[in-house]
Structures are given as structure tokens and as C-alpha cells.
Amino acid sequence: MADNNFWNGKRVTVTGGGGFLGSFVVDKLRARGVKDIFVPRSLDYDLVQPDEISRMLDDARPDIVIHIAALAGGIGLNRARPADLFYTNIMMGVPLMHQACERKIEKFVALGTVCAYPKFAPAPFHEDEIWEGYPEETNAPYGLAKKMLLVQAQAYRQQFGFNAIFLLPVNLYGPKDNFNPESSHVIPALIRKFVEAQERGDKHVQLWGDGSPTREFLYVEDAADGIILATEKYNGDEPVNLGSGHEISIKDLAELIGKLTGYSGEFVWDTSQPNGQPRRLLDVSRAEKYFGFRAATKFEDGLRKTIDWFREHRKVAVK
């Protein structure tokens, strides 16, 4: 249930508001009647620099900060740029929360990542198990950088009474996703690969790993709904998962996307490439209990919408 009164007169800053997830959050804020939404663009503010963060907050004067901006991507990007992923995400998040606390901003919403969970966490991942081991190696620098925002949020709440909450979204997908093969996640990567292979008439496509790992995916509009609901209703110190509760193997995912795109060739699995984390499935009960969030989009419906968007916006999507 929407709490439109919560937003009355609020000034809201959404970092990453021009990106994939952030653009949907901004749309949903507008639908809630929020008039004053500030989206800092990377051309105007380098949020890795503390002075630029300060200038941005001077310009925005927010009551609420929703921090979505991140450097993120699939296994390829995580292997190629682990230092960039660590430094950029630490330096965007930690000084931003610190300055928001210093300015006594009313609420700070920090987005973490499923990559923060231990490599061998028992599925479904429950929030209380987030410290029970080291993350999967290929995405550990990114996952740990984002997890520091949880430590910071809890420390600043304890010492300063600062209302910072920490959300853990699972892998997202949907329209406006990143379809660049150098940095994309698995769903957009497979969609682009199969659509282009079908057009060329390729008899087979090569895929990374052996197809055995499982993943959970959350449709981007559902994730945006979860963030809005948490902002309205949740004011606790515990991390909260945002997921769908639906698990699928990479092999089954590839076959499903192949079917939905109309590609009928052979899949060749390159086992010299990494699989990534063996399983990813979240316990999603806390989000429903604390702020009434439950994913609404059926997985196959969300995939169809994503494929349709890619075909329709191909020139933009492949840049």
C-alpha cells in the first residue's frame, strides 16, 4: 500500500537515478507525487570525490538520499577491474553516507548486493548469515565494498542515531538493462547473444561455465517498488533482502531465453571460464514482514518484456 503522505514536501536525491534501476525508482517517486527529485549526473558530479559529494549535497539539499549509483557488472568486469570496483564503490558510498549524517539528513537508503554473501552460504540466503564466510572470489572486491555500507549504517545509527537502512537486492533484469558484452550480467548477455546468433544463422553459441550454478533474478520494476516501500516503512538496523524467491540454473535459463528469442541452435559450454557462485537464492521473508514487499512479476513475463525492449531499442541498447 502506497504511503503518499510520507513523501509530502520531501526533497529526494537518487544517486544513479539516470541508470537502469535508478530510472525506475525515479519514475515511481514521480508516481507517488514527489515533486523535488534530484538526480546527480556523472558529467556534473564525480561522486568518487568527497568535495564533489559535498557540492552535490549543497545543490540538492535533500531530506532523503537513495544511494543506487554503483560501478557493477558481470563476471567479466569483476575479473578485469577488481580494484576499480572496490575503490569506486567504497568512495562513492562511505563519504556520501558520512556527509549525509553530518548534515542530519532525515533518511539514507543504501543499496548493497547479493555478491556480499559468503560463497557457500546455505540457500536460501538469510540476512543473518551475511558474515558467515568470504564472498565468491570473482566478485568479492565489489561485494565487500558494498557491504561496508551495512557496517557504516549500523555504526552511525548506534553512535549518532542516523536513520540509514541497507537493502540487499538480488540480480536484476528488465528493460533498459546493460547489454554490453564486456560488462553485462547474464540475462542481458544471453538475450543479446541469442538474438544476434539467430539473425546470423549461427548453428551454435558458446556460453561461460558448465551451466550448473543457480541464480535468482528480480524484475527491475519490482526492485524499485521494494526500495520505495522500504524508504516509506522501514527504519531498522538489520539488512533486508530484495528478491523474488525463484531459483533457476544457468543451463535452464539459457534454454528458456533461447526459446523466448526463437534461437534453436546448440549451446557449447566453455568450462575453462568461471561459473561464479554455486547458488544464489534469497530468503525474502524479512522484506514482506518489515515493509510488505513481495515480487509481483512472473519470471517468464519479465523476460519477454526485456527481450521485447531489447529488440525495439537495439541501437541504444548495444552502445
Positive or negative, the CA dihedral 257, 258, 261, 262 is: negative
Q: Catalytic residue among 45, 117, 142, 219, which?
A: 142
Three-state DSSP class for 207?
strand
Q: What CA–CA distance (Å, rounded) separates 146 from 67?
A: 11
Q: What CA–CA distance (Å, rounded) separates 163 from 61?
A: 17
CB-based contacts of 296: which residues, under 8 Å, 6+ apart?
A: 222, 225
Positive or negative, the CA dihedral 115, 119, 125, 129 is: negative
Q: Is 234 a catalytic residue?
A: no
Asked if 25 and 224 count as a contact pair (C-beta separation under 8 A), the reply is: yes
Asked if 183 and 140 count as a contact pair (C-beta separation under 8 A), the reply is: no
Three-state DSSP class for 69?
coil
- Where does 6-47 have alpha helices with state H? 20-31
Residue 163, all three cell numbers: 536513520
Asked if 78 and 142 count as a contact pair (C-beta separation under 8 A), the reply is: yes
* Cell 547474464 -> residue: 186
Q: What CA–CA distance (Å, rounded) separates 165 from 95?
A: 16
Residue 119, all three cell numbers: 560463497
Phi and psi of 35, rounded to 5°? -90, -35
Active-site residues, by number, are 142
